[in-house]
Every structure is written in C-alpha cells, then in structure tokens.
Structure 1
Amino acid sequence: MVDVLENKRAATRFRVLVEIAERQPAVSQGEIADAVGVTSQAVSEYIRELVDDGLVEKEGRSRYRVTKEGVDWVFQSATDVRRFADHVTDDVLGSVQEDAAIATADLAEGETVTLSLSDGLLHADPGGGDATGVTTTSAAEGEVVGVTGFEGVIDLDPGHVSVIQVPPVRSGPVENIDDIAAACADVPIVTAAGVESVVALRDADIEPTTHFAAGEVAAAAASRGLDAVVVATQDTVGRVTDALRDASVDYDVTQ
C-alpha cells in the first residue's frame, strides 16, 4: 500500500506538507486546519514533526518553507498515489466497468460477444473474437446492450484529418469553394472553425457537423476510425492543429 494511504495520520501529514508548500513562506495554521479538516493544534503538532524530520524549516513567526528533502518526499508520495490510482482505474475498475454497445443480433445476458467499432460506435457481435466482452443485459438486434469484462484490443484503423484553411473576412472572399466541396465529399465528419468557415461550407452546399471545438471533435472522430475535414480560418488553424497533435492524430493542412 502507498505510504500516505496506509493510515489517516500519514495522509494528513502529506496534506499538511502540501498546504505549506502552496502557502509558503507566510503560513496560517488556521487556514491549513480548515483545508485539511483538523484542529489548529493538530496542525501545529504536524508542523513541529515536519521540522524535526527536516522536511520543513522555520524562518520566523508563522513563516515556514519546505526543504529540498520535503519537496522530494511530496513528489515521491504524489507519484506513488498516482500509480496507485492508475492501478485502480486501469487494472481494477477496467475489468468491471460497463459500457454500452449496439447489438448486431439478438443477445442474451451473460453472453460472450465480439466488440468492434463501426461509424465510430461500439458494436457487439455474437461469438468470440480478438476483442471480447460479456453482456450485462439482453437486447434485440439494433438495441443497446451493456457490456463488461473487456479483453483484447479492438482492431481499428485510425482516421485521417484534413485541415483546409480559408482567409479571414478582412482578407477577402474564399476562393477555394470547389476544393472544399471535393475534400468533404463522402467524409463523415466535417467541422468548421470560424464564421468564415461555416459560410464557406454552406457555399459548397455542406452543413458542418459542428462549428464548436472543431479540432477536438475531428480528433475524437479520427480516434474512432473516422476520417474528418476541418475548415478553419487562418486565425484559428493553430488551435485546431494543437488539438490534433495533442490527440496524436494524423493530419495535413492545405490552403
């Protein structure tokens, strides 16, 4: 077990040290007591122990500073807590979490199913495969079914995002309407960043899927195997590509 989670005292000691680090050098024991949920007297005792252990140094009345050793201890403890949390979410809860899928055939509760992504949505097929789960409900074909006990990896080819730049209104009209129309043909997700982009798409007889969080939406679609086009003004293209890079999505930018 992680040290700061072994008992309440260790956890409180960790929180007091973090509160000192956040407030240093002028430290109000009353504020720390309110934040941690203990008495001011208890905070005073914890601080005295931290000073004795070399994790905090006293600089004057109500003035404390976390030492290098204290910073190292907080960092290591926080890392241990993060690893424990990752273990809980990934290893423990990951095996018991329930997700929703579309049944491709009539399914009974407790049935092993193959999981796949189609049109960006999770589908459950009868029988075992490379990626499987166990149904937690029964469902008729086309209905939603609960699935848990996930094993394996879903076979998925990530989508590609094409980013098309258009000029801002101050730079004149959009001249590449035909190119926009051709790029968006048969692409399931088309997003727009900027009013100029929305109008350019409508001039190409295309209604954007969304004109909010264009890069994030396209990145989410690509991560589920769907190609996408983002039409963005030159002023907004940087925010779009930042979102795509953060999601490790394959993309290209054209004018």
Structure 2
Amino acid sequence: MSGALEDKRTATRFRILAEIADRQPAVSQGEIAEAVGVTSQAVSEYIRDLVEDGLVEKQGRSRYRVTKEGVDWLFQEARALQRFAEHVTDDVLESVNEDAAIVTEDVAAGDTVTLSLREGLLHATPGDDGPAIGVVTTDAEAGGAASVTGFEGVIEMEAGSVRVLQVPPARLAESDAVDSDALAAACDDADIVVAAGVEAVVACRHAEVDVRTWFAPGNNGSNRVERQPSSGSSRT
C-alpha cells in the first residue's frame, strides 16, 4: 500500500513534492501551503527535509526542482495510490453496487440468490447453486423485482450478434429509396429488430418488418419506446 495512505506525514510530503514538481522552478511556499492546507512554516520544513533526502534540489531563492530520485518516489507513490483506487472502484464498490432482478420464488432481505439472464432480464433464484450469486436487500414475491447486491462470480450467457443497417435521413430525400425486399431479407433471421429514428421506423413498416423496439425522437426531444427486447441477436 502507498505510504501516503499509511500516515499523514507521508501524505503531506507527497502532496508538497507534487506541488513543487507542478510549479518548478519558481516555487511559492505560500501557494503550496494554501493548496495543501498547512502553514507556510510547515511547507518550509518539509522542503528542507526533501532537500536533505535528495528528492529536491535548491537552485536559488524560492527556486527548487525535483530530482530524479524525487520523480521516482512520486511515481512509485502515485502508482500505489492508483492501484488502491482501482481496487476500491473495481472490487470494493462493484461488490456493493445494487441492481434489480426478477425473483423466481419468494425472497426476503438477506437471502443468497443465484443470478441468471433470461430473455435479456436479470433473474434471481434462492440458493447459491450458480456460478454467479448475490444477496437480495429487499423482500419480494415470486415474479416481483428485488434489489440485489454483493455480486460474485460470472453470469453465464450466450453471446449474440448485432447487425447495423443504415437508412438515409429524410433531409436527403432518399428515404423512399430503401430496398424493402433487401431490408426484409436482412431482418428475416433476427431475433430482435430495433429501429432508431423516424426514417428507420418508416422503412421497417414499408418492408413489413416486425420492430420489437423503436426510438424516434420528436421535436420536443422525447423518445418513444415500444416493447422491450429479449435476449438474442439484434438488427437495427
């Protein structure tokens, strides 16, 4: 772990050395004191120690430069801080995030559940039999939604594919030039068809393509969403 996380003096030393590196060679101890939150006298004492330890060299009145040793020390401490931050964000916080899941049986807060994806939705089944588990934080009846946290493992899922088809915008006056037969053929084997934009919706209607979900912003900026998708491959 970074020394800057283990004691206050090392943390202050790290901050002051970083400020010197950022401001060198003209260094205002008053500005550093304000940035770090200590007195100017304390900054002066820290700088004196940094010079004695060979991490900073004095080049004149109020002129300092971080040495190679100082850069190495800063780099090591910064990397240690970065690793700790990544541990917190990737491991600690990720495990306490909450998400909603459909429960297959009645559950009570504190129950361990096995997690799975069904038709694109997260499901939770009481027990710890699966490769992915969690803990529900709310009571819920079968078929209802419960909040789940404490995720562990990997949820098994079947990979799908997405194919994107571009439809000309109406402003180019080419939207009627879409080959409906080709569009219908391209969407024929799709599990889900999603249309984004008015032109795409119109093209799919002309091709008699069943659109599962569509997004078509209007002048007021609102989006219309119709029928949620299920799992599988998609076509747009």
Establish whether TM, by shorter chain, passes 0.5.
Answer: yes
2:29 corresponds to: 29
Please give the residue correspondences for 1:68-217 in structure 2 after superposition, counting only pairs within 5 Å. Answer: 68-127=68-127, 128-165=129-166, 173-174=174-175, 175-176=177-178, 178=180, 179=182, 183=186, 186-187=191-192, 189-191=194-196, 198-204=197-203, 205=205, 208-209=214-215
Rg comparison, structure with higher value: 2
Shift of 1:36: 1.3
Separation in 1, partners of 2:168, 2:59: 58
Shift of 1:210: 6.9
Q: Mean alpha-carbon deviation: is it higher for 173-182 or for 15-24? A: 173-182
Q: Do the aligned partners of 2:191 and 2:232 also contact (CA within 8 Å) in 1? A: no
1:55-101 superposed Cα distances (whole Å, 9 cap, x missing partner): 22333333333222222211111111122233334444555554332
Give the 3 Å change call, closer, same or farther, for CA 165–57 of structure 1 in structure 2.
farther
Q: Do the aligned partners of 2:107 and 2:126 also contact (CA within 8 Å) in 1? A: yes
Unaligned runs of 5+ in 2: 206-210, 218-229
Separation in 1, partners of 2:216, 2:44: 55
Unaligned runs of 5+ in 1: 192-197, 212-223, 231-255
Give the 3 Å change call, closer, same or farther, for CA 201–168 of structure 1 in structure 2.
closer
Separation in 1, partners of 2:46, 2:216: 53
C-alpha RMSD of matched pairs (Å): 3.3
Counterpart of 2:164, as a letter, is V
Give the 3 Å change call, closer, same or farther, for CA 46–164 of structure 1 in structure 2.
farther
Q: Do the aligned partners of 1:97 and 1:149 also contact (CA within 8 Å) in 2? A: yes
Separation in 2, partners of 1:225, 1:68: 55
Number of aligned residue pairs = 212
Counterpart of 2:202, as a letter, is D
TM-score w.r.t. the length of structure 2 is: 0.72
SS of 1:21's equivalent in the other structure is helix
Counterpart of 1:153, as a letter, is V
1:245 corresponds to: none
Counterpart of 1:14, as a letter, is F
Counterpart of 2:40, as a letter, is S
Q: Do the aligned partners of 2:132 and 2:153 also contact (CA within 8 Å) in 1? A: yes
TM-score w.r.t. the length of structure 1 is: 0.67
Percentage identity across paired residues of the two chains = 61
1:117-175 superposed Cα distances (whole Å, 9 cap, x missing partner): 23543221233322122222210123221223333210023443333345678977354
Give the 3 Å change call, closer, same or farther, for CA 154–48 of structure 1 in structure 2.
same
